[in-house]
Chain A
Amino acid sequence: MLLLSVAALALVAAPSVAQDGDGRDSDQEEEQEQEEQEEQEDEGTGLFDGSRRGGFVPEFDPEFHPTYKLDFKRDQDVSTWTHNFKMNYSFTPKVAFTAGSNIVLRENEALNRVNRNEKWNAGLSLALSSAISTGIKFTRSDQEDVRNPGKDNEVRTFRERESFNLTTNYNKTLLSGIGVILGANGGFEKNKYSNVLSRGSSQGVTAGIEYDAPLGLSTRFQYSGQHSLLDSEQGALESKDESFDHSLTGHMEYAWLGNAFLVDVRRGLSSTEYPKEEQTEHRRADTEGLSMSADVGLVENLTSTFNLGYTRSKTSYRLEDSKDNDLKTRNVQASLSYSLGATDFTAEMSSEKKRNEYYDVQTGDQYSNAFGASVTHEFGEELSAVLRGRTSLLSHHYDDTEGNDQDRDLFDQEVTLNVDYDPRADISASLNVKVREDNLIYIRTSRTGDNKTSQTYSVKPSITKSFGDKITATQTYGLSADYTFYTYDPDSNFLIRNFSVDTTIDWRPFSPLRLTFSHQYRSQDEGSYVEDENGIEQYGKNSQRDDNSLELGVGYKLFGLVSLSLSQTLSMQKRWTIVDDEKQLSWEKFDTTLKGKANANYELESGTTVKFTLGRIYRDATNITDRQREVWDISLNIEKEF
């Protein structure tokens, strides 16, 4: 059976939110970061990750599953095409082929730039027996950025990487509870940057053993080593760059009568050579780590955890020795939780000391301590309350107090109270109260002018009432005051006050129809908070801002298939400055949007699924461009099974 997915043809004529080309670029970069993270997760992180079923040969699936996705987006400056193709095919239960490609082409008209990213991969894996597997894999990635394409001043910058690897793994669990993994890999790689070319070979070995004893004891140890030798060229430099990376990890776990004890150790050593400014840079890294934790429940209703940790990371460079560093961290953490009837009590404390050796004025110690506690109590079925408190102190101590005057303490305290009250089935209410204080204390007199204390007080009550099963109304109030007190500059003391009311009504007169109404009101004012001639602190308001936003919406499901929605939003903002107790309008803005949308998910009897969204947005607002006034929002996704 062949499953062909023609998925995600997305056409967005312009986004509903004003977005510049650079902003869109950053979204793309975030997507790329996520993709790279997913790829790393797919690769697995250790010998025992997903390799239990016999190396890297996927489970046998005789069906052919190629997928292809095409995506196009366009905003006022940037257009982006994305092609994605993936294919997994098992010829037999022991032989599988995988291939994929991802191509992203982005054109920025405002900056006159074209950016292209391509990733290709292909692999063949073979299970020689239940324990031994082998395979080959090819990967290629191209990245190119062209400024002023097609013009005399065109500039191209690129990065090309290719690798070919042969891997063999042995993975066996013996009846005695002992598991063994052995692996070896070797291959070639080629890297081409704008001004660097390198090519050569790489080899690696992996070995691991694990043992699960019947009395709750389990252990794992694993080693991996990688070596590469590359011929590199950069300008007049021709060099042989040798790199290696050794990693050793161990894990021990012991469970006894509901208590658990864990120990993890790791050690890493790496050396990397690469061209830099026509010289050979040599980066050495040495890491080690130890963590011990105990989860203990010695007393009924009382659980506790203790963690101890140590890490060290030392890096040195031959050319850029100003980047050398040696960082050490020691930390301890403890937590307790205790239940007594309707009351739960938890407390957590942590302490960490970091020694940062940068061999310059940044060298110093960093101490971080935190304590938090909470009490939860249920007063019958209708009323419950949670009281939380937290305090933390972060201290920066630099060795060279003459060369570095940034020694400082950050001392924070916070208390919150949450109360939920449900007196009747149709009424629920809640109250949130928060008090917070942040202190910034510079120690050296050259910096103490910035010392300040910020205090925030906020109250947020909310009530929800249902009228039958068709109407629900919710109203939330917010009130806050945010003070800033300068230790040595009281004339700069400042106060911000906020008041807000949010109202939402949801009405479902009959099954497929839904009506919504929401209104938001925000008022903010701010000004000085300084002492008058009598030594009493007075608030001197110097500006105020009011925001109102109203939204009406209607939704209807047509024939149980197509969801239709129409909404109208109107928002208005005003800002005043206060001069001699007189309000003077600084600016006034409005934004109104009419949005209509239809979307459906439909499955044919043949198994074909169709998903579409068709939307149109009309917008008028202060200071928007014509391109933002009328916007299409279209997407189509078809999945066909042959």
Chain B
Amino acid sequence: MTPKRATSLAAAALLFLCGCIFTPRDPDGPPEGDVTDWETPISTDIVLKNLKAAFEGEGVQNYRDCFTDSFRFHVDPVDSLDAGQEGEDRYANWTREDEEHAANGVFGDASDIALAFTTIQEPDEAGYDTYRIEDYELTITFDSGEADEEVTYGGRASLHMRRDNTGRWAIYRWVDRRLTEDSPPPTWGTLRGDYRD
């Protein structure tokens, strides 16, 4: 067999294989209820709106799309220290995949989710990189069998966002801090840590 013929056969086999494994599934049908809550994130306000809608609506892909590929979450040092021996592993190198996995775990256990942001510092969206500071209150009703359990998480998040070449904003860094009150509620960071394997 000549090299040209071998190459042609290999390329033909690859193309045939591609046709078999690159066919996406058909959806079951049109939506039963509401249509999409997702808005094209042309401002940081819309990123927060999408994040709230995705978390409350338990839409894991829309939630994931609020973050960039290089996303990193930085927990409050006290949350890491409070976790004792597990603390160092629990929060180290937190990526978008960890964020998606933790959100998916919460969605599996929650019967109701309510999220509210209060803006502490407005962003400057003139450039391609900005940050905004938000206080959040996240109330989750956990479906724990006979009686549901409601837990409220609160904290201050510095959300660093980046605008891509098409004008879409997404979060690339989340710095989580406890509130300064004497008995602050648990942060979203502790909730994330509970869902890291």
Could you tell me if A488 and B30 are in contact, using CB atoms closer than 8 angstroms?
yes
- CA distance in complex: A68, B23 (Å): 60
Could you tell me if B158 and A488 are in contact, using CB atoms closer than 8 angstroms?
no
B 62-83 contacts with A by CB, 8 A: 62, 72, 74, 77-78, 81-82
Could you tell me if A448 and B29 are in contact, using CB atoms closer than 8 angstroms?
yes
Given A349-B17, A482-B167: A450 in contact with B59 (beta carbons within 8 A)? yes
User: B126 contacts the other chain (Cβ, under 8 Å)?
Assistant: yes
User: B116 contacts the other chain (Cβ, under 8 Å)?
Assistant: no
Return the CB mask of B19-51 against A: 1 if under 8 Å, else 0.
001111101111111111111101000000000
**A interface, over-half SS:** strand
Return the CB mask of A288-300 against B: 1 if under 8 Å, else 0.
0000000000011
- CA distance in complex: A442, B62 (Å): 11
Interface range, A side: 35 or more
User: B92 contacts the other chain (Cβ, under 8 Å)?
Assistant: yes
Contacts of B118 in A (CB 8 A): none
Contacts of B167 in A (CB 8 A): 482, 496, 498, 524, 526
| Nearest chain B CB to A479 CB, angstrom units | 11
Q: List 26 A-B contacts (CB under 8 A).
A: A18-B124, A22-B158, A25-B175, A26-B158, A145-B78, A198-B85, A349-B17, A393-B24, A406-B60, A442-B61, A444-B27, A445-B29, A445-B32, A446-B33, A449-B36, A451-B27, A452-B38, A478-B165, A482-B168, A488-B31, A489-B35, A492-B39, A496-B167, A526-B42, A526-B167, A589-B124
A 352-407 contacts with B by CB, 8 A: 358, 360-362, 369, 371, 391, 393, 395, 403-404, 406
- CA distance in complex: A338, B29 (Å): 45
User: B177 contacts the other chain (Cβ, under 8 Å)?
Assistant: yes
- CA distance in complex: A138, B30 (Å): 65
A 93-121 contacts with B by CB, 8 A: 111-112, 115
- CA distance in complex: A148, B182 (Å): 9
Can you add 11 more A-B contacts, CB < 8 Å, to A302-B3, A524-B167, A526-B40? A30-B72, A145-B81, A148-B180, A194-B82, A336-B10, A349-B17, A349-B18, A369-B21, A448-B31, A458-B165, A498-B167
User: B52 contacts the other chain (Cβ, under 8 Å)?
Assistant: no
- CA distance in complex: A274, B160 (Å): 36
Contacts of A458 in B (CB 8 A): 165
Return the CB mask of A3-33 against B: 1 if under 8 Å, else 0.
0000000000000001010110110011001
Could you tell me if A443 and B27 are in contact, using CB atoms closer than 8 angstroms?
yes
Q: Give the nearest-CB partner of B59 in chain A.
A: A450
Could you tell me if B36 and A300 are in contact, using CB atoms closer than 8 angstroms?
no
User: B119 contacts the other chain (Cβ, under 8 Å)?
Assistant: no
A 443-491 contacts with B by CB, 8 A: 443-452, 456, 458, 478, 480, 482, 484, 486-489
Could you tell me if A323 and B21 are in contact, using CB atoms closer than 8 angstroms?
no
User: A193 contacts the other chain (Cβ, under 8 Å)?
Assistant: yes
Could you tell me if B24 and A591 are in contact, using CB atoms closer than 8 angstroms?
no
The 7 lowest CB-CB distance pairs between A and B, nearest first, are A449-B31, A489-B35, A22-B158, A409-B24, A482-B166, A26-B175, A449-B35
User: A208 contacts the other chain (Cβ, under 8 Å)?
Assistant: no
Contacts of B191 in A (CB 8 A): none
Contacts of A547 in B (CB 8 A): 126
Q: Give the nearest-CB partner of B23 in chain A.
A: A393
| A contact residues vs B (CB 8 Å cutoff) | 18, 20, 22-23, 25-26, 29-30, 33, 111-112, 115, 143, 145, 147-148, 153, 157-159, 191, 193-196, 198, 234, 274-276, 299-302, 315, 323, 325, 336, 338, 347, 349, 351, 358, 360-362, 369, 371, 391, 393, 395, 403-404, 406, 408-411, 439-452, 456, 458, 478, 480, 482, 484, 486-489, 492, 494, 496, 498, 524, 526, 543, 547, 571, 573, 589, 591, 622-623
Could you tell me if B3 and A300 are in contact, using CB atoms closer than 8 angstroms?
yes
| Nearest chain B CB to A92 CB, angstrom units | 38
Partner of A448, one of B27, B42, B108, B160: B27
Given A338-B7, A443-B28, A488-B35: A20 in contact with B180 (beta carbons within 8 A)? no
- CA distance in complex: A410, B158 (Å): 30
Could you tell me if B173 and A26 are in contact, using CB atoms closer than 8 angstroms?
yes
Contacts of B87 in A (CB 8 A): 159, 193
User: B96 contacts the other chain (Cβ, under 8 Å)?
Assistant: no
Interface range, B side: 35 or more
User: B197 contacts the other chain (Cβ, under 8 Å)?
Assistant: yes
User: B111 contacts the other chain (Cβ, under 8 Å)?
Assistant: no
Could you tell me if B121 and A449 are in contact, using CB atoms closer than 8 angstroms?
no
Could you tell me if B61 and A111 are in contact, using CB atoms closer than 8 angstroms?
no
Could you tell me if B11 and A195 are in contact, using CB atoms closer than 8 angstroms?
no
Contacts of A452 in B (CB 8 A): 36, 38
Could you tell me if B34 and A449 are in contact, using CB atoms closer than 8 angstroms?
yes
Contacts of B23 in A (CB 8 A): 393
Could you tell me if A193 and B74 are in contact, using CB atoms closer than 8 angstroms?
no
Q: Give the nearest-CB partner of B88 in chain A.
A: A159
- CA distance in complex: A406, B24 (Å): 15
Contacts of B22 in A (CB 8 A): 369, 371, 391, 393, 411
Q: Give the nearest-CB partner of B38 in chain A.
A: A450
Partner of B27, one of A20, A198, A441, A573: A441
- CA distance in complex: A482, B42 (Å): 12
Contacts of A442 in B (CB 8 A): 27, 61
- Which of B18, B39, B126 is packed against the most chain A CB atoms within 10 Å? B126
- CA distance in complex: A527, B78 (Å): 45
B 131-177 contacts with A by CB, 8 A: 131, 133, 156, 158, 160, 165-168, 173, 175, 177
Partner of B166, one of A409, A439, A456: A456
